[in-house]
Structures are given as structure tokens and as C-alpha cells.
Amino acid sequence: MLISEKLNTLIRILLSDHFHNKRVSTVSELAKGVNITYAMTKRLLIKLEKSSYISIRVNVRLINPLRLMKAWGYTYSLKEIETAEFMSAERPQYSILKIANWARAEGITCAFTLFSATEHIRPYVSPSNTHVYVLKEDLPKWQEFFRKENILPAEKEGNIVCLLVDKDYFYGVEDVRGISIISIPQLYADLIAYGGRGEDAAQELLKAVGEKINV
């Protein structure tokens, strides 16, 4: 990552809480959320304060959340996330529903991202692949599920891409008509990191949620 995982987690929490109109947090609460020491959290927050993204007083307050979200998008990297890829003969829209329904029935954590997510918020580019965040520890369950569905593993360029992450990535997950998508700030960062059509889709996403993130 261009910035540390802990700073990524901190920014994700700050932006997601703001998007959901949650009250401002103290340094201690953020330290607990990121699972690092108070001192390290304070150091990370000071970095953000020096760039005029936040203000640290008794509570931590976002000064320009939209500016922070845009900056985060250009420092985030999808390429460094471990993936497991699979090949399906079905259209992405059908794969999304099948995955979402199975995960819900089994109580498995997952959240769609990139065009698999924007399809349900602000359609701009029809997904040609399915991108979904899953917990690393759940990969064997996903492999078994795909095997039963005759969805084969692919060494590369599969049309179902599982992004293998820890639970921190699922902070602020949204439910859109029964489909779990990654938090709006994380989705924006993913689209920017994807590049090309992703950047265009990120701007379309801002048209849908920009006012809410920048209040």
C-alpha cells in the first residue's frame, strides 16, 4: 500500500462514520477501532491534521471529508490485495445474486466492490467481472461453494475475483436492496485505484453521494 494498513483503516473509519452521520470520535475510541495504541493513533491523526483533513481537540472532527476521500483514493492500491479468481459461465449480474444469496444464507461475510457495487448504487459501467471482498479465513468455504456451482478456479483473469482481506475492510458496509456492498468511501477509493473507467465511475458515484459525504 502507498500508505500503511493502519492509516487505511483509520481513514475508512473516519469517512464511514461521517457518511453515516455518526458522532465524532475520541482518540481513544479510534485507537480501539483500529486496534493500535493510543500513541500510534495520535501520531496518525496528527499527520491528517497537518494536511488540514481533520481537527483534533477533545474529539476528532473532519474538516473536509470529500477532500480526504479523494486524496485517499489516489494513495490506495488494489493491486497489493491478495486475490482468488474463478471462472463462471454466468453473467455477472446473476453471479452477484447467487453469491449474495449464498453468503446471506450461510452467514458468510462478503461485500461487493467496483462495478459490481456501482451497478446497485449509480449504474455507469455494466460489470464484466464480479469483484467481491471476502475474509481470508473463509476462502476454503468459497472454494467449496464455487466447486459445487461448477465455477472453476482460474490462475488469472477469472471473471469472479475474490479480494482476500481481514475484517477491518468491512467497516461501514452498506446493504442495497439485499446486496452487501463495501462502504461508500472504500468503494470510491477502489474505483480510483482501478483506474480508467473506474475513475469515471467514481465521479458518477460522487454525483449520487457527494452531498452526503461533504456535509
How far is 135 from 17, CA to CA, in rounded Å? 22
Residue spans of alpha helices (H) in 26-91: 27-34, 38-50, 65-73
* 154, three cell numbers: 482460474
Name the burial class of residue 30, with classes exposed (0-12), middle (13-18) and buried (19+) by CB atoms within 10 angstroms of its CB.
Answer: buried
- Phi, psi dihedrals of residue 125, rounded to the nearest 5°: -120, 125
Those residues with Cβ within 8 angstroms of residue 15's Cβ, 6 or more apart along the chain or in another chain: 62, 65, 68, 69, 72, 172, 183, 185, 213
Confidence at residue 211, expressed as pLDDT on a 0 to 100 scale = 61
| Residue matched to cell numbers 476462502 | 139
Between CA 105 and CA 82 the distance in angstroms is 25
pLDDT in tens, 143-179: 999 999 999 999 888 999 999 999 999 999 999 988 9
Taking the model in full, what pTM does it have? Answer: 0.91
Residue 67 sits at φ, ψ, to 5 deg, of -65, -40
- Collect the ranges in the chain with pLDDT lower than 50: 1
pLDDT of residue 192: 94
Q: What is the model's pLDDT at position 19?
A: 86
Q: Could you give the domains of the chain? A: 5-73 (1.10.10.10), 83-213 (3.30.460.40)
The span from the first CA to the last CA of the chain, in angstroms, equals 29
Q: What is the pLDDT of residue 21?
A: 80
